[in-house]
Amino acid sequence: MSNFKVFTNGIIKENPTFVMVLGTCPVLAITTTGFNGVGMGLATAFVLVLSNIIISILKNYIPDKVRIAVFITIIATCVSVVELLMKAYTPELYKSLGIFIPLIVVNCLVLGRAEAFAQKRGVWASALDGLGMGLGFTLALTLISIVREILGNGSIFGFPFLPAEADKILLFILPPGAFLTYGLLFAVMNALKRKANI
Amino acid sequence: MDYIKIIIIAIIVNNIILSQFLGICSFLGVTGKVSTAIGMGAAVTFVIAMGNAITYLIQTFILIPYHIEFLQTITFIFVVAFLVQIVEIIVKKSMPPLYQALGIYLPLITTNCATLAVALLAVQKSFTLVESVVFASATGVGYTLALVLMAGIREQMEINGYPKGMKGFPMTLVIGSLLALAFMGFSGLVK
C-alpha cells in the first residue's frame, strides 16, 4: 500500500466513526459544540500519531505476550502528556471536555491501530496512519457536532445565526439528540456508500 | 451523602450509558441477545466494583501522600487491566458458553470507558471507600439495565421490518436515542 493510500484510508475507506465504529463514547458525549468536536478530534489525533510512532519504533523489543499491557502504558503516557498540555494552554477546552481527555486511553481506536497497524509497519507509515485515522475521527466529530450545534443551539462554532429569542430544538444538545444525530448520519453515510459503490 | 440517593442517581438519573455515554462500544456490540447482555453486565459490574475499591486505596495511600497524582490515569488503567484478566480466567473456566458469546468484548472491558471513568469520577466526587464501592456497584446495575433493555428491543426488532439503510448500527443508535429520551424523564427525580 502506498503512503498516500495509508493516509487516506483512515479518512474515508476505514473511517473510525462511520465505518469501523471505534471510540464511540466521545463521538456521542462531547459533540455538543463545534469547538468541542474539533478539540477532542485533534487531541485524539495527537495521541494516535505519537503512540503509533513510539510503538512502531519499539515493536521489535516488545514481547508478544505482554504487548497489550505495553501498548496501554505507552498510550496512557501519551494521553497524560496531552492532558497536561491542554490543562496549561487551553484550560477552557480542557474544562468542557472534562473526563473525556483521560478517557482517550480507553478509546478503542488508539489501541486498535497499535494492534492492527503500528506493531507491523515502519515508523513513517505508522505516523501517516495515525494522522489519517486522527483526521478521519476529527472530521466525523466535527460533522456531528456542527449538526447538533445548528439544530440545538442555533449557532455555528459559537456564532449565533438565529435571534436569541428564536425557538431551538434543545433535544439535539441533550443525550437523545446525540444518539439520533449519529444514527441518522450513519444511515446517510451508508446510503452514500452504496451509491458510490465503495 | 445518603447511600440510597447515590444508588438512585447512579442507576436511573445519571445512567452511565444513556446519559453519560460511557461504555457505548459494548452497548452497540453485545446487545444482540438478552442472555449475553446480562453476562456482560455482570462482568462489568464486578470489574468496576472491585476496581473502585482498589483505585480508592491507591489514590488515598500512594498517589496523594507522594504527590504523584499525575500518574492516576496510568495506575488506574493497570488495576482495570489486571481485574479484567482475572474475570476472563474465571469466566473461561466456569462458564465456557458465556465466554464464547462475549468473545472479543470480554478482554475489551479493559478499554471499556465505563470502568476507568467510574474510578475517575469517584475520585473527582471525593467519595469515601464505602460510598465509592456503592456508587460503582449501582453504576454497574445501571449499565446492565441499559444493556438488557437494548437487547430486548433489538430481539423484537429482528422480527419487524425496517428500511434497509437503517440496518445495523443506525437502527441501534435510533433505539438508543429513544431509550435516552425515556431516561430523561427521570432527571429531577432526586435533588
Kindly report the nearest CA distance between residue A2 and chain B, in angstroms: 31
pLDDT per residue, tens digit, chain B (191 aa), is 688 888 988 888 888 888 888 888 888 887 888 888 888 888 889 889 989 999 999 999 988 898 888 888 888 888 888 888 888 888 888 888 888 877 767 777 777 788 888 998 998 888 899 999 999 999 999 999 999 999 999 888 888 877 777 888 888 899 999 999 999 888 877 76
Q: Which of residues 9-68 of B touch A (CB under 8 A)?
A: 18-25, 28
- State the complex-level ipTM: 0.84
Between A163 and A62, the higher pLDDT residue: A62
For residue A137, give the 3-state DSSP assignment. Answer: helix
For residue A55, what pLDDT is reported? Answer: 93
φ, ψ for residue B161, nearest 5 deg: -95, 150
* Contact predicate B41/B77, CB 8 Å: no
Residue A17 pLDDT > 80, yes or no?
yes
Residue B120 identity? L
User: What is the reported pLDDT for A68?
Assistant: 80
What's residue B191's pLDDT? Answer: 64
| For chain B, domain boundaries | 3-184
Nearest C-alpha of chain A: how many angstroms from B164?
9
H-helix or E-strand spanning residue A156: strand A155-156
The reported pLDDT for the residue numbered B188 is 77
Written as nine digits, the cell of A48 is 494516535
Residue type, A126: S
B79: nearest CA partner in chain A: A69
pLDDT category of residue A147 using cuts at 50, 70 and 90? very high
CB contact under 8 A, A106 and B172: no
For B91, other C-beta atoms within 10 Å of its C-beta total: 18
CB contact, 8 Å: B8 with chain A? no
Q: Find all residues with CB under 8 Å of B172, minimum gap 6, and list them.
A: A183, B28, B31, B150, B154
pLDDT at res. A58: 92
A20-45 pLDDT per residue, tens: 888 888 888 888 888 999 999 999 99
User: Is the confidence at residue A1, as pLDDT, over 70?
Assistant: no
User: Model confidence over A60-94: pLDDT tens digits?
Assistant: 898 887 888 888 889 999 999 999 999 999 999 99
A92-136 pLDDT, tens digit each: 999 988 888 988 988 888 988 888 888 888 899 999 999 999 999
Per-residue pLDDT tens digits for A43-56: 999 999 999 999 99
Chain B residues with CB-CB distance to A25 below 8 A: 21-25, 113
Contact: A176, B112; criterion CB under 8 Å: no
Q: Which of B28, B8, B44 is nearest to B168 (CA)?
A: B28
Question: Taking the model in full, what pTM does it have?
Answer: 0.87
User: Residues of chain A with pLDDT > 70: what percent?
Assistant: 99
Short-list B53, B150, B33, CA closest to B101: B33
* Per-residue confidence (pLDDT) for residue A11, from 0 to 100: 85
- Terminal CA-CA length for chain A: 17
Under 8 Å CB pairs connecting chains A and B tally to 120
Q: How many CB atoms lie within 10 A of CB A159?
A: 8
Residues of A in contact with B172 (CB under 8 A): 183
Which of A:149-188 have CB within 8 Å of B? 171, 174-180, 182-184, 186-187
Which residues in chain A have Cβ-Cβ distances shorter than 8 Å to B165?
A: 187, 190-191, 194
In B, minimum Cα distance to A175 occurs at B19
Does residue A3 sit at the B interface (CB-CB below 8 Å)? no
Alpha-carbon span A100 to B147, nearest angstrom: 22
